[in-house]
Structure 1
Amino acid sequence: MSSSSLDSGPEPLKKLRPGRTNATKQKLFEASMELIGERGAAGVTVDEIAAAAGVSKGTVYYNFGSKSDLIAQLLRHGVDILLARLLSVKNASDDPLSAMDEMIGQAMDFMAEYPSFARLWVSENWRIPSEWQDTFAELRERLLAVIRTAIDAVAEVYSVDPGVSRGSLETAIFGACFVVGLDRQTYNPERTREQSIAAIMASMRGYVVK
């Protein structure tokens, strides 16, 4: 999105300082995720998001331009949070399988903290057409790149099954993090974090040749 679309609004306003902008974006992210989790993206208005976040409607339009742009930027914000958590465990262990285990644990923690983000992702990501299709494609590739790097690290240390497509494997892990994490929050809260991680890691451990 161009800077001009982000800076446009119903009236000229003084540009927010970066620190305040980030704080405002986090407020909007949390408020919108809660509302979207209740009614879906289409059922939520900018007025409701602004009120729930404790900011003015003008502030929303000033920073994001439109509801569609707001959702796109909040998707980016959520992925930025998730990526920061995944990358925080990069090289955290000499064993790349253990590092992958920790990375999936971070994903499960994110899904537990922001289940409505996972619902929005799952409901809209595969909808064709979607007004956020280009945004999803970009963000999906950013997440897949982190998983791809982790799988490559495993392949450098372990003997792996050459018959398994790495592209399919990274997609399986990517999808499983969202679906298993969301399923746990929605239908099976009795399942532990460790059980969810172990289920997803079964794909990785099956990739390694004993």
Structure 2
Amino acid sequence: MARSGTRERLFGAAIELIAESGLAATTVDQIAERAGVAKGTVYYNFGSKAALFSALLEYGVERLATALREAASGRAPLDALDAVVAAELAFIGEHESFARLLIAETWRSGGDWQRTARLIRERAIGVLADVLRDAVAAGDLRSDLDTATAASAVFGMVLTVALDWRALQPGRPLADVQATLMDLLRGRLTR
């Protein structure tokens, strides 16, 4: 199996286990067993559990940011906002364990939570900030909108609502969840 395929399996196993039990309780042995590889494979690919976790966060955040960028690409600003909200919802729906991990580990005491928060802001929330700045420049949103704070608020709102949807309302259609979020956003951000 190619190294990238092995890394994908290790990432998947680590995300599931850490979301289930937390980082401290998850062992390299468990990650290797869940991924169906030898323990040495984890060390060969990452060096340590801490390095695996760091790479896992970067990998997941970059995948999310890529999904958001692709959703916004080539669209008018308000259409891009709709598309980015839909993309974040869809990403969390598909990668629920990663979203739970992101929330749990970002705010867990100890560790490098500020680095993780910065990573999320720079890569994922930054996409939203760009979309909001474009919408302000186009005259679609209030000219006095603090786009950096608004981007964080939108990202956090979508993340929280997506987790609520997946955990408590899994039968509810994605389109309904997105429509409610967009009604809230349009009512508060537009002129």
**TM-score, normalised relative to structure 2:** 0.89
Cα deviations by residue, 1:159-194 (Å, 9 ceiling, x for unpaired): 432444222211111111211111111112133212
Higher mean C-alpha deviation, range 112-121 or range 123-132? 123-132
Code of the residue aligned with 1:21 in structure 2: it is R
1:189 aligns with 2:139: no
Q: How does 1:111-190 map to 2 (within 5 A)?
A: 111-190=92-171
The C-alpha deviation readout for 1:31-67, integer Å capped at 9, x for no partner, is 1222223222222111111111122211111221211
Q: Which residue matches 1:48?
A: 30
CA drift of 1:28 comes to: 1.1
Q: Describe the superposition over 1:122-145 as per-residue Cα deviations: whole angstroms up to 9, x where unpaired.
A: 112123433454234223321121
Gaps of 5+ in 2: none
Root mean square deviation, CA, Å:
2.0
Q: Percent identity?
A: 36
AA matched with 1:117: F
SS of residue paired to 1:55: coil
The counterpart of 2:42, out of the listed 60, 82, 98, is 60
SS in 1 for 2:108: coil
2:50 matches 1:84? no
1:6-25, CA deviations, whole angstroms, 9 ceiling, x for partnerless residues? Answer: xxxxxxxxxxxxx9332222
**Residue 106 (structure 1) aligns with:** 87
Please identify runs of 4+ aligned residues in structure 1 that moved more than 3 A: none
Structure 2 contact 10–31 (Cα < 8 Å) conserved: yes
Taking structure 1 as reference, are residues 92 and 82 closer, same or farther at Cα in structure 2, changes over 3 Å only?
same
- Size of the aligned set, in residue pairs, is 190
Task: Give the match for residue 15 of structure 1.
Answer: none
Give the direction of change, closer, same or farther, for the CA distance of 1:78–1:67 in structure 2 (3 Å limit).
same
Asked whether the 8 Å contact 2:18–2:26 carries over to 1, the reply is yes
**Distance in 1 (alpha carbons) for counterparts of 2:23 and 2:183:** 34
The answer to which of 125-134 and 178-187 deviates more is 125-134
Q: Is the 8 A contact 1:33 1:114 kept in 2?
A: no
Change (3 A) 1:140 1:21: farther
Pairwise mapping of residues 9-48 of structure 1 onto structure 2 (< 5 A)? 20-48=2-30
Long gaps (5+) in structure 1 = 1-18
Residues 64, 70 of structure 1: 8 Å contact kept: yes
One-letter code aligned to 2:13:
A
